[in-house]
Homo-oligomer: A and B are copies of this chain.
Amino acid sequence: MKIAIAAETRSGERRVALVPGLVSRLTGAGFEVAVEPGAGAAAHHTDDDYRAAGAEVTEDAAQDAAALLGVAPPTDKQVDALAAHAVVVSFLPATQELALVARLRDANLSAFAMELVPRTSRAQSMDALSSQALVSGYRCALVAAERLPRFFPLLMTAAGTVAPAKVLVLGAGVAGLQATATARRLGAVVKAYDVRAAAAEEVRSVGAEFVELDLPPLEGAGGYAREMTEERAARQLELLAPYVAEADALITTAAVPGRTAPMLVTSEMVAAMRAGSVVVDLAAEQGGNVEGAVAGEEVTIGGARVWGGRNVPSQMPAQASQLYASNVVNLLLHLASDGKLAPDLDDDIVSGSCVTHEGEVHHAPTRALLS
């Protein structure tokens, strides 16, 4: 059975769903691997690297493949090339891509969305949202450090002692914790805030101070924060203002996939930061945690440089692809038995991540939108 690897076509997408180093995990399980030409180029893997790893490189990779692996959802052309019952694994924002979901359903394909993999211990190795957030969080800290006109660490020099930079991280999920840990590695003094009180221990475990606001805690679901009332959000803004004002670098990572990100910092709060401060808003693509941040651009607010993230994992394509490919391979092999792909919808990981199967839309919220 043939597994096809898509060459990504979406602008700015530099990742690839399988890296050469993982081809053997699929061939070892009895599959053939066919890669669309140039699929790995932006992630620094040549067609020859794939060939050397035992894959075929061909324009017709998707034709009659048993599975298609991608980062972005498949194109119409790829969907049409696949035979009925073939498996598609990619990121797939199902509730927002209704036309594509209908096409996958009508082609009788089994489509799995990486963002729907349950956040359970058993599914950890397939959790692409976490692996990509790890990349994003690390990169956010480096972007902040590279743009700040002063050192992160305390340095004792002959010309005097330089105090460490103060970094504030808002949102302490996987990305926020990795940003916190990376800023700490570089020697900054880091404070981190999350609406989930449970995040306090994790923040402290990476050497940062947890910011406790005088607000009742909100607990999350599936590792993400719940939304809050307008009144509570306004009070939170007010209580965060002094923390933002004293920070040299502000990194915001508060986002729930598929929803608009909460606005945590007003442009007025940014303007109150010292001249030369840096703001990195990882949630800019989802509306932004910082008022005025623009995804994929750097803007100036007051004396601060405000960097808005856009497909941040693609900015470290080799690393992001390696981790993503590992997640995808783990999910694909979880769907397989005896060298064949046989999704077992009684399994919670399979069922949780399934969007279409056997001519039906399996994902209930998407089904509701399509009916």
Give the interface of A toward B (CB within 8 A).
43-46, 124-125, 127, 130-131, 134-135, 138-139, 142-143, 145-146, 148-151, 153, 155, 157-160, 162, 182, 185-187, 274-276, 303, 316-319, 322-324, 326-327, 330
Contact = CB atoms under 8 A, between A and B. Distances in A.
11 contacts: A44-B275, A46-B275, A131-B157, A134-B157, A142-B146, A150-B319, A151-B316, A151-B319, A160-B323, A162-B319, A276-B318
Given A150-B318, A182-B186, A323 B44 contact: no
Contact of A158 (B124, B185, B275, B303): B124
A222 B191 CA distance: 42
Contacts of A130: 157-158
A85 to B, nearest CB: 28
Q: How many copies does the complex hold?
A: 2
B182 A155 contact: no
Contacts of A185: 153, 185-187
A330 B44 contact: no
Given A125-B159, A159-B125, A159-B330, A149 B317 contact: yes
Contact of A149 (B43, B150, B327): B43
Nearest to A303: B44
B44 A159 contact: no
**Most central of A43, A135, A143, A151 by chain B CB within 10 Å:** A151
Given A149-B318, A160-B323, 5 more contacts: A44-B276, A127-B159, A145-B146, A160-B322, A276-B318
Contacts of A160: 125, 322-323, 326
A43 B124 CA distance: 46
